[in-house]
Amino acid sequence: MASSSVIARRYFDALARHDLDAALDCWAPGAVDRLVGQAELTAPDGIREYFSELFAAFPDFTLELVDVTTHRERCAVRWRAAGTFVGPGQFQGFAPNNAVIRIEGCDVLVVSDDLITAADAYLDGADIARQLGLLPPVGSRAQTRLTALANLRTGADRLVHGARPQAIAAGVWVLRGGVPRVMNVYLIEDQGGVTVFDAGIRGMQGAIRAACVPLGGIRRVVLGHADADHRGAAPGLGAPIYCHELELSAARSASPFRDYWNLRLLPGWTQPIYQRLFAGWDGGPLEIAGTVQEGDRIADFEVVHLPGHAPGLIGLFRAEDRLALASDCFYTLNPATGMRTEARVPHPAFNHDTAQARESIRKLAALNPAVVWAGHARPAAGDDIDLQLQRAASAAV
């Protein structure tokens, strides 16, 4: 039985000679050559197709071994390659442009019974793209302009989907997203990581993940309720998701709309807008890891059941500083106009039970909170916060 280095050298010698039959004789059928970050080629057909295209595009393609390191069945091969893109064949859809490429890379092969059974190939795709003229040279004016354009896009994304979280209390931050930035996602310090309370809209996924990295990463996501604008980013956060048991059906639903919503209660011109918005905000059905209920502890907060806007809507209350995170128990935003308002009962177009929603606002007021952060826009705060909430519970919608 030949050593893995012998098989590796035999394979690369065949590629250097453009002898695909001999190269493929070194592979076990069905084995995968993984071009890391680019493609996965299955032997024999996928490998033959890739290298046939390469040799047709670069007829003077040369391959030189730099170093071969072997450990048991594994063999790491460093190599250099060069060629001129003169065709007649295309390369990955690009027409020949006479570009000269010189690249280096490393393949890690696994050999068993004198055949390659797997390989990982590492090469700098960006460097190849620059040499082919598909990306501007490093340090060029074109690269400077491309970098500026990328930074402009990053800035615009942060403006829309949230940039940096704002500290609102000890161990608690709010991240705002959406246009305008009225979607509130709360980050709670929790055993070396973060509990995310409410998950905003789908477009906020990246901003939420990034905000949690310096805080230790996301431990779990707890939904205040399962409306699309509060669950939207949850599928992309890579953490277990929890909600109240009465929100399970909505959380697992593929629809971004709740069956009790009545958008006809909104001004006519806003109805098609909300149809489109909720579809765009939603991230799809969720896999729920477990449920929470009134009295449970989330970090140093207590779960409070606040039904009405949604049957399983919950808030979080921390007694030590009387901080409440209330999700959509009340609004500080008028969804019919987009204008910010004083605390008010949620709009009946989106409520499961508006009378019950009023009672939940009163329940929240009875906790005597010092500040209550809502699911959207600004918090309710001030010395008269209990009066603000009582007025909200009693006012006309």
Query: What are the pLDDT digits (tens) for 170-186?
Result: 999 999 988 777 999 99
**pLDDT score, position 365:** 96
The Cα–Cα gap between 82 and 64 comes to 9
Same domain, 121 and 182: no
Where residue 337 sits, what CATH number does that domain have? 3.60.15.10
Q: Do 73 and 173 belong together in one domain?
A: no
Determine the distance from the C-alpha atom of residue 190 to the mean position of all C-alpha atoms in its chain, rounded to a whole number: 21
Q: Would you say 195 and 222 are in contact if contact means Cβ atoms under 8 Å apart? A: yes
**Predicted pLDDT of residue 172:** 98
Range of 349's domain? 160-394
Residues 83 and 178 both lie in one domain? no
Lowest mean pLDDT of 72-86, 128-142, 352-366, name the range: 128-142
Answer yes or no: do 126 and 202 share one domain. no
Task: For 35-101, give the DSSP string.
Answer: ETTTEEEETTHHHHHHHHHHHHH-TT-EEEEEEEEEETTEEEEEEEEEEE---SS-BTTBPP---EE
Q: Is the pLDDT of residue 159 over 70?
A: no
102 and 175 housed in the same domain: no
What single DSSP character describes residue 335?
A: T
Q: Is residue 371 part of a domain?
A: yes
Tokens of 212: 């949690």
Supply the CATH number for residue 12's domain.
3.10.450.50
97, 85 Cβ separation under 8 angstroms? yes
Residue 65 and residue 195 share a domain: no
Find the DSSP H helices in 264-353. Answer: 271-281
Cβ count within 10 A of residue 194: 28
Buried b (16+ CB within 10 A) or exposed e, 38-54: eeebebbeebbebbeeb
145 lies in some domain:
no
Q: What average pLDDT does the chain have? A: 93
Kindly state whether residues 221 and 111 are assigned to the same domain.
Answer: no
Q: Is the pLDDT of residue 396 over 70?
A: yes
One domain, residues 166 and 117: no
pLDDT tens for residues 93-121?
999 999 999 999 999 999 999 999 999 99
Q: Structural domain tally of the chain?
A: 2
Closest to 238 measured CA to CA, from 199, 271, 272: 199
Q: What is the pLDDT of residues 269-300, one digit of tens each?
A: 999 999 999 999 999 999 999 999 999 999 99
